[in-house]
């Protein structure tokens, strides 16, 4: 029997949820996963929770993912439908980039040329997805950030020969995505894809803990307080329709004990504080422990 490789996130991602999976697992209501169920993730990002669900719950019949970031969703769709072509382009990018190791000037030039090409958004689907992965693997801290014109603007990182083409994992992800419906748009569109036994997991852009911690912006439109309130209204609607959901967000109260924004907003639901680590900070001293919120309607 061949060893089937387990799919894992193919991107480095700010706020990736690998560290929260144990807490999410402890929170999950077992009755949902005992029967056939649909898993819905309206802000998929790098998909850490998605791949964990796909790998660990045999009764998961179908998954639905969504994100407002078109370039990210194009990359998921390309991996699902055309992994071979994507891999062949990534291998070229990896060989070219690695051949410049030791020549910082040329390496930088190469990176910024590819970033410019990416921002034209004129490549066909696989080429654009390959550039997305290339930039993610070679940029500073794996950040995805665009300006108001939707131009990606993260500088080059300092990695030596980073893995740009992880062929085995791309095939594993492609295989896993065969039972996933991939949407692009506002998170509310996911409601039309829910079934009777559905579990939603929300990982929205976190409310910033300080003015500087918002590394805006992940999408060209900001996810501000009124957006957080709209999301809570959507969660209340799901609750009224008997859907199960879990949501994670920053714990603003941990930073300022008088800040009851989420405690008041989600007072009708179950709020727990869990330990988390922030890894994206240029200063390692500030990558310490802090709490995050896991909110659920059960």
pLDDT in tens, 80-101: 999 999 999 999 999 999 999 9
- Where do we find the tokens 């993610």? 136
Query: For 39, what's the count of Cα atoms within 13 Å in the CB-facing half-sphere?
Result: 25
Q: Give residue 276's Cα distance to chain centre.
A: 16
Listed range (8-22, 28-42, 69-83, 216-230) with the worst mean pLDDT:
216-230
Spatial CB neighbours of 159, under 8 Å, sequence gap ≥ 6 = 137, 138
In this predicted model, what pLDDT tens digit does every residue of 230-271 receive, in sequence order? 999 999 999 999 999 999 999 999 889 999 999 999 999 999
What is the Cα gyration radius of the chain? 19
Write out the H or E segment, with its range, that includes residue 8: none
CA distances from 125 to 7, 60, 74, 79, 131 (A): 22, 29, 7, 10, 10
| Confidence band, pLDDT 50/70/90 cuts, at residue 142 | confident
Q: How high is the pLDDT of residue 212?
A: 58
What global pTM score does this model have? 0.92
Helix, strand, coil: what percent of the chain each, to 5? 45, 15, 40
What is the spatial order of strands in the sheet that 289-296 belongs to? 180-184, 60-67, 37-41, 198-202, 244-250, 289-296, 270-277
Residue 73 has pLDDT above 50, yes or no: yes
Residue 176: both structure tokens together = 């896993």
Give the whole-angstrom CA distance, residue 143 versus residue 158: 13
C-beta of residue 60 within 8 angstroms of C-beta of residue 37: yes
| Confidence band, pLDDT 50/70/90 cuts, at residue 1 | very low
Residue 2 has pLDDT above 50, yes or no: no
Partners of 271 in the beta sheet? 295
What is residue 235's DSSP assignment?
Answer: H
Write out the H or E segment, with its range, that includes residue 102: none
Q: How high is the pLDDT of residue 19?
A: 86
Listed range (141-145, 172-176, 195-199, 200-204) with the worst mean pLDDT:
141-145
Provide the terminal-to-terminal Cα distance of the chain, rounded to the nearest Å.
Answer: 41
C-beta of residue 45 within 8 angstroms of C-beta of residue 67: yes
Q: How high is the pLDDT of residue 108?
A: 97
């Amino acid at each position: 029997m061949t060893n089937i490789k387990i799919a894992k996130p193919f991107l480095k991602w700010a706020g990736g949820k690998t560290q929260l999976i144990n807490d999410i697992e402890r929170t999950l209501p077992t009755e949902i996963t005992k029967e056939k169920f649909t898993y819905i993730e309206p802000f998929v990002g790098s998909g850490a929770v998605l791949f964990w669900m796909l790998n660990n719950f045999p009764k998961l019949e179908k998954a639905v993912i969504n994100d407002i970031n078109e370039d990210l969703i194009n990359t998921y769709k390309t991996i699902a439908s055309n992994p071979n072509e994507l891999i062949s382009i990534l291998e070229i990018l990896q060989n070219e980039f690695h051949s410049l190791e030791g020549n910082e000037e040329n390496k930088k030039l190469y990176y910024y040329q590819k970033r410019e090409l990416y921002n034209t958004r004129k490549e066909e689907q696989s080429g654009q997805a390959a550039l997305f992965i290339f930039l993610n693997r070679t940029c500073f801290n794996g950040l995805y950030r665009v300006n108001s014109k939707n131009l990606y603007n993260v500088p080059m990182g300092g990695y030596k020969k980073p893995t740009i083409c992880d062929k085995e994992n791309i095939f594993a992800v492609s295989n896993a995505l065969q039972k996933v419906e991939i949407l692009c748009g506002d998170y509310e569109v996911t409601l039309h894809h829910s079934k009777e036994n559905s579990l939603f997991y929300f990982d929205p852009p976190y409310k910033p803990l300080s003015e500087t911690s918002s590394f805006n912006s992940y999408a060209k439109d900001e996810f501000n307080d009124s957006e957080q309130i709209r999301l809570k209204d959507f969660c209340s609607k799901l609750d009224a329709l008997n859907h199960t959901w879990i949501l994670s967000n920053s714990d603003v109260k941990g930073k300022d004990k008088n800040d009851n924004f989420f405690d008041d907003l989600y007072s009708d639901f179950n709020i727990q504080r869990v330990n988390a680590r922030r890894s994206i900070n240029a200063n390692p001293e500030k990558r310490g422990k802090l709490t995050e919120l896991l909110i659920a309607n059960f």
